[in-house]
Structure formats: C-alpha cells, structure tokens
Structure 1
C-alpha cells in the first residue's frame, strides 16, 4: 500500500466504506421488506380470514336464534321476518366463505375448511332448510323436531369453525415469532456489519495516515515551513528526520539543504580564492608598474648621459 498514490489509497478507503454502507443498507432494506411481507401475510391471510370466520360464526348463530324465535313467537309477520333474515344470512355466509377460501391456506387449514364446507352443507340441508319449510307451513311441531337436528349440525360445524379461528391465531403467532427471529438475526448482522465496518475503516484510515505521514516525514505544516525557508535562501533551518528515514519528503529536504549548503560553501570558497588571486594580481601589477617607471627613469638618465658625452665629443 505504501507504493500506491495518495489518490488511489483514498479511493480504496472510500470504496470500502461505500461497499459497507451499501451492505448495511441492503441488510436494512431486506429486513424492512421481510417485515412488510410478514405484516401483509398476517393481515391478508390471518386477520381478514379471522374477521370473515367470526362473521360467519355470528350469522350461523343468528340463524339458529331466528328459527328458535320464530317457533317461540309464531306470528305470520315475525315468522316471515325471521325467514328473510335467515335467507339473507345464508347468502352473506356463502359470500364470506368464498372470500375466505380465496386466501392462502395451510395444509391443516385446507383440511379443516373442507370439513367445514361439508358440515355447513349438512347444517343447511338437514337443519335450516327443513326448519324454514316447517315455518312457512306454520308447522311448529315439525319445526321443533327439526330444531334438534339443527342444533346438532350447528354444533358440529361451529366446532370446526372455532378450530379454523384458533388456527388463524396460531398461524399469526408463528408469523410473529418468525418475524421476531428474523429481526434478531438482521439486528445481529447489522451490528456485526457496523462493527466490522468501523474496525476496517479505523485500520485502513490508520494505514493511510501512517503511509502519508511516512512519505512526508513530518506534519504538512512542518514540511511547508522547511520548503519556505529553503526557497528564501535560509539553509540553516533545523530539519528533524526520524531515525532510519531515507525516503520521506523531509529526508529529501534535508539532503537538498545539505547539498545546497555544500554548493554555496564551495561557491563562497571559490569566490574567496578568486578575490585573493585578484588582489595578488593587482599587487603584481603595481610592482610591475613601479619597476617599469624605475626602468624608464634609468633610461632617461642614460639618454641624458649619452647626450652629454656626444656634446663633449663634438666640442672636442
């Protein structure tokens, strides 16, 4: 990782965090979807059926009570009213039962539903319809006889209906327990994912910071201060380098500072040598000029002497 560019390292860390974020979000979305599916199943396959079965139970009981009431009060108006009530209830029960049968049924539920269908047919065929026929004929004796059969068939169908209602409660409880277990699993997975994510983020973040710090060799502010000092020509600023550091920016700055200081020293020494040489040359030139002047004076004296000799010779 130390050989990677800083941008690549940052991209890797951010990519890892993004993957973890998506994973945790995916777990959360899965949990929400599962919870929604469980609630939908409880409502559509348990709550609604339980309401329909409860209404069927109530209407079946009302039919039985309507027959008993008509027998107890055998007036034409009351008998006609109760017969109409029973017939309307039978139609409503059929509609509710068809709606219930259209829901998703378990194997046990389908068996009980089939049993109830047969028992209800017997209840209507051998109990309600003969009772209604006796009431229409105003034959209270026959109606009382049929009432005993009605009671027996109603109790049998009602027992199965109660089992269906209890099954809705049991299945709803199973759905709740499954949803609770799923919630626990998702919660554990989410917590584990977050813990792993935080740990990985901390580790990779530490590695990233350590790698950059090693490459710089110091804090960015310190590196900036050193580069600014060197840029301004100050080669005396102390540069602290970690022991064994040969490849960091600060180590490079120290090497550059030392190299520049060496070059400056060599240039300064060369300048001093040149200055000394120039002074020596100037002194030599001065001596040469003085000797030249002395030679010129000697020549002038010699010339004067020669002229005097020549003059003496001519006079002689």
Structure 2
C-alpha cells in the first residue's frame, strides 16, 4: 500500500472486504449459482458499462472543454492543453472499445449505431481545434471553443446519457428477476456480512496503525529536510565568507553535513588524475575502518567504489538500503556491517569537470528521500560554484601579481635611463611617468609633474612648433627617431635635443613613450667651429643644422 493516501487505503480495504463477501456468498449460495451469474452479469454488463460511459461522458464533456477553455483563457500552455486533450481522447477510445465488448442488448445496439458517428464527428472537431492551436489564431480558437466544439460534443453527450439510462433500466429488470433468489440467501448473507464487518474493523485498525507509522516516518523525513536546509544555509554562508582554500571548504562542508544535517558520516573524495583520495571526513570515522584512503580509479576497488562511479558518470548515486544493494557488495562486510544503512554520493565539479564527490552515510534506511536528494544536489552545486570562485580568485591574484611585477620592472627600467624619459597619453598629453633625468632638466619634482598635461607646463618643454611637429609624426608613423627639437628649461635656457618617441598601449589607453638626448654642447661646438672656419665636422654622421 505504499504511496497510497489514507483514504485510498481505507477504500482499498473496503473493496477487499466486498470481494471477500462476494466470495463467501458464492461459497454459501452454491445452490443459487444461476442467481449469482445473473448478478455478475448485472455488474459486468450493466454497472461496469455505466462507469465506462460516465468516464467517456466526463472526458468528452468536462475534461476536453476544460482543457480547451484553459488554453483559450491562457491558464494552460498549448503543449499542456494538447496533451490533456490527447489523453482524454485516448481514454475515451479505450473505454469505448471495452464497453462494446460487454453483453449488449438490442436497444444498446441502436444507440451505439447513433453514437459512433457522433464520436467521430467530435474527434474531427478536436483535430480542427488542434490545427487552430498550431496556427496560433486566438480569436478563432475562442470562437471555436465557444460554439463549434460545444455543438460537436452535445449530441454525443445526449446519446451517452441515453446509454447510461438504458444500462440502469436493464440492470433493474435483471435485478428484479434475481430478487427472489436473493431473498432466500438473505439471512446467510447477513451472517456473512456480520463476520465481514468484524474483519473490516480489524483491517481498519491495522490500516490506521500503518498510517500512524508512516506519519511518523514522514515527520522524520521532513525534519531531515529541515535540518539539511539549515546545512544548506550554513554552506552558503561559508561560500559567501570566501574560504581560504578548497581543503578548508571540504572540511567545513563535511562538518556542516554531520553537525547540522544529522548525517552519520560525511567525506569528500577528490580525483587527482588516475587516482582518487579521501580529502577529509567528519563524523563516525569507524564506518570507514579498513576502507582505503587512496586508490586507482581503474583498480578493482576503483571500479566498484560508489565515489569512483560518481566521478566517472558525473551523476549522483543513492542507495537507501545498502545491505540489500548489490552495488554496495564491496561494503557489506565493512561499512554496512558497522551501521551504514543508507549511502549517497554527489558529484563536485570544477570548471565544469567532475573532480570529486561528497559522500554521505546514514544509519537509517531510506534516509535519502527525493526531497533530500534535490537539496543535496543543490548543495553540491553550490560547492562546485565555490570551487570555481576559488580558481577565479587564484587566477586574479596571479594576474595582479604579474601586473605588479611588470609595472615594477617597467619603472626600474624607466628610471634607469641615462636620458630624459616621459610617458604621456596621446589624447591629451597627460603625464603618467617621468624619470629623474627629466625632472632635473625641467626643475620640477616627479610629484609636481605627474597628472598634469605637458601643455600646462608653459615655462618648460618643447617649443610649440616642435611639439606640434612631433605629435603629427607620431600620429602618422606611430614612432619618431632622433627628431632635433628645441627645449626650454625652467631657468629659461634654450637647449637642443634629439627626441625619439613611440606609441604604446599602457593600462588600456594609447600612450607616448618619449626619450631625448641633450646635444646642446655638441651644437655649440659645431657652431663655434663653423665660425672659426673649420669646415671639418667633428662627427662622421653630422647632425642636421638648426633651422
């Protein structure tokens, strides 16, 4: 009787008692065999057809219009309404065939001949309704359901009502014919009913006791689910607190499942390449006495281990009666013998790949019901999300460290230049970095220059014409080499320099890395030599003359 409601069980008991009474009546009334056959005929050929016809009528006149109206009114999706209508049609077809296989009288044959065309017409109307559903014409659907469908079903309903009335009329005639025989058996049946009543009372008490036991079991199951809801909440809080490592996450997960979820033992098994090992456990550790802590996945034990199966399949595995489960045969003499009656394992994923399993043991058979399994699947999914977060955080820290190292290296190299160097944005010439050589040339500190635009330093820097030419060449060619420019220091001194620059990508924006060499003394020497009439240049590769 598992899975039936209390009322259904009582109804089943009553049905069994009625069957017993019928059987006892047959034994007691062998002399009324003919009467019994007549009664059976009334039941099989009248009462059952009445039930069949009523079901057909209910399906065609209640369920089908209700599904059609539900679709038109938006309470049912087209797929759901279609399935309900098809289910009703299938039921009607089966019931109609079963009804026609019963013993039919002449009046019934005439009514059946009228009903079958009506039934075909109704089915054709339903097929037309399905075509309208497929076309998505809401207005046509509403009009069809309000008029055409009703007109197609009402004649069939009338004929079915006449068939039901006829069944009752014929049943009455046959019952009257058997009344005399039943009178003779009345007192015997009364005695049998009295005995059956006593038996019914005993069965009712038994059903009630079973019901009470199942209520207690359901209450215990509900309490388990509530406890694991608490465990899920604590697991989520653990994830929000961002555990320091996956090992810490595993340990806290096992502790929560045992302390809050009331599992007897929780363990996390991790797959490392070709082998698996027990990362941690919490609870009644004696359950795993003698069970290996590390094994190869393709070893004999690895082939049968529940966690190995979960890691390979990526799906949970539940055994609510491990002692009777052949999949748990390798644990019957160890884990099960020590009290592990229910066992479950849930996959843990990392980057979409199953890398381990959460293994849970309970001392109570049937511990892992459907509601609890759904909850534990959710918990395993949350832990998998936390593992991905750990990986993302580790990648972020490594990327940040690499960026810092690269920045430190850039700054060391930048400041190691023996020439002036500056890093500015191309768009608005904002100064991002300068070295000490440049600071000494312009007479500003690094702090005074960073964040300002080169155009704001009106008392130092390139002459406007040279600056404009420099940036035009950069934008055109992407780099400039040894462009001779004139530079003004903070003391007002005009200097000559060779300026080089290149466009680079720095922190997501286009920047200019500029370097310059002071050639003022060289130019002065050249000019002095020229004035003295010395036409021999001091350089094998002379610099261009100042404009």
Determine which structure has more spread, i.e. the larger CA radius of gyration: 1
TM range (shorter): 0.3 to 0.5
TM-score norm. by structure 2 comes to: 0.27
TM-score norm. by structure 1 comes to: 0.46
Which is richer in strand?
A: 2
Name which structure has the greater RCO, CA cutoff 8 Å, separation 6+: 1
